[in-house]
Amino acid sequence: MPDADPSRRPLGASRRHGGDLWPQVVSGDRGSDRVGPVPDVRTRRRRSVDDPRTRRQPRVLLGDGRTRGRVDRHRVRGATHLARSGVARRRRCPRARLRRRGRLPQQGTGQPVRRRRHPAVLDGRSQRPRRRSCHPKRAAVPAQNPRVARIRTAGRPGSDDRPSQDRVFTTPNAVIVLDGASQPNPDAHDGGWLADTLGSQLRDRLIAEPLTADLGAVLAQAIDGVARRYALVPGRGPSSTISIVRWNDTDMIDVLVLGDSPVVALARTGRLRQVRDDRLAQVAPAERQALRDTRPGQFGFDRPHQWQALVEAQRRQRNTPGGYWIAEADPEAAAHAVRARWNTRDIVAVLAMTDGVANGVDRYQTPDNWHTALTLARRSPTDLVNLVHDTELTDPDGTRWPRSKRHDDKALALIEFVRRETA
């Protein structure tokens, strides 16, 4: 038996729920009262956007003070408190979203969603921030890492009658550049041997260790492993510079430089970022000047006594506070390396090289700056190496640029962070 008092019917009751009377409407569209059935909430949401019945639905005031539908504060006397109550909560209708075309994002472009405060909409009232997935046609797609690394290397020995002492090692996520130090009386374990042995040891450790491992700790373990295996004595063994560039899945680039093998990077803003260790050039200045003061046509390494004096002066200050730090037999040197960290999204290319290549810009001004050098290296790394070598040919006697030998060994590695589709 139906209820005698329709105002006691539960909120949302309809004929199929046992009710035979509909609640009366107290206000309608455009100031006209209208009596009739109010569609069910679920039915109303399934209607088309063009259905005129969904444009302005009246709000029903039930007998017990509860409401259903839309509140028109200007037409219902005393209904202001209803708009502030939890009962008069604004419904979430896709039709209302389609009206705000200018406020919705455009078609998904693969860029990450920028979170911000949602503007005030609908009758001047603020609404909760829109869920990005509500509108499938305009939902933004989370951006993935769009860049990968492309590695190219180049090198050239300084003389045709002896092998180069520069080495370059690569892994899928790292580049290692080493420059073995020349010695007046080399034995089986010279600078080239250390560069080759330490570089291979370090490459294996970088592959085995996670990409988040500290570069200084990995280098220290590699130095200690080589020193123990071959019984190297600190201060009396061969030495080598080392530069490491490693990138990981978190878009970070870690750089470590120990010795005069610099790393130069080109940022997307056009600015340069350099990581250098010039402490070796500040050691034994008197012995270094005596080695360079030679007769025309004679280089420093052609004078063994002056060369030996420079080597001994450098060994006394090697891997000591106030001196310089280099990869040798002391693993503590790794803790004194020059470090840097960048983001792959900010970097276009990274150039790691030995001093034989760096002299082209630093001493010969050929290329005249690092922007030109990076442009040439990106076109062809071998062209940059050959340009520096040919520049040294223009000064065969060493009078313009006094140096230890006519041609130094040269090696470089170029890492470019390019888009995935162009890799």
Per-residue pLDDT of the chain (423 residues; tens, 9 = 90+): 555 555 454 444 444 444 444 444 444 444 444 444 445 544 445 555 555 555 555 555 555 555 555 544 444 444 444 444 444 444 455 554 444 444 545 555 555 555 555 454 444 444 454 444 444 444 443 344 456 789 999 999 998 888 999 999 999 999 999 999 988 776 768 899 999 999 999 999 999 999 999 999 999 999 999 999 999 999 888 999 999 999 998 899 999 999 999 999 999 999 999 999 999 999 999 888 887 776 666 676 677 788 888 889 999 999 999 999 999 999 999 999 999 999 999 999 999 999 999 999 999 999 999 999 999 999 999 999 999 999 999 988 888 888 888 899 999 999 999 876 555
Distances (CA, A) of 29 to 56, 88, 335: 7, 18, 78
Q: Are 166 and 354 in contact (CB under 8 A)?
A: yes
CA-CA distance, 194 to 240, in Å (whole number)?
A: 7
Q: E strands of 130-198, at which residues?
A: 147-156, 166-171, 174-180
The pLDDT value given to residue 404? 81
The Cβ-side half-sphere exposure at 192, using a 13 Å CA radius, reads: 14
Q: Are 254 and 221 in contact (CB under 8 A)?
A: no
Tokens of 264: 């130069």
In sign, the C-alpha dihedral spanning 303, 305, 308, 310 is negative
Owner of token pair 């990869």: 327
The pLDDT value given to residue 290? 80
φ, ψ of residue 351 to 5 degrees: the values are -120, 115
Q: Is the peptide bond before 10 cis (omega within 30 degrees of 0)?
A: no
| C-alpha dihedral (343, 349, 354, 360), degrees to nearest 10 | -130
Nearest by Cα to 241 from 204, 199, 271: 199
CATH top-level class of 147-422: alpha beta
Give me Rg for the CA atoms of the chain: 38
The Cβ-side half-sphere exposure at 244, using a 13 Å CA radius, reads: 31
In sign, the C-alpha dihedral spanning 179, 180, 181, 184 is negative
What's the one-letter identity of residue 335?
A: A
Distances (CA, A) of 209 to 56, 216, 223, 246, 336: 65, 13, 16, 12, 21
Burial class (CB in 10 A: 0-12, 13-18, 19+), 237: buried
The pLDDT value given to residue 21? 44
Which strands form 410-419's sheet, in the order they lie side by side? 147-156, 410-419, 347-353, 263-267, 272-275
**Count of beta carbons in the 10 Å neighbourhood of residue 84:** 10
Owner of token pair 């390396």: 337
* Intervals of CATH 3.60.40.10 along the chain: 147-422
C-alpha triplet 296, 302, 306: angle, nearest 5°: 100
Does this model's pTM top 0.75? My answer is no
CA-CA distance, 156 to 382, in Å (whole number)?
A: 9
Instruction: Please name every residue paired with 149 in a beta bridge, in sequence order, or none if there are none.
Output: 417
Tokens of 397: 């006697």
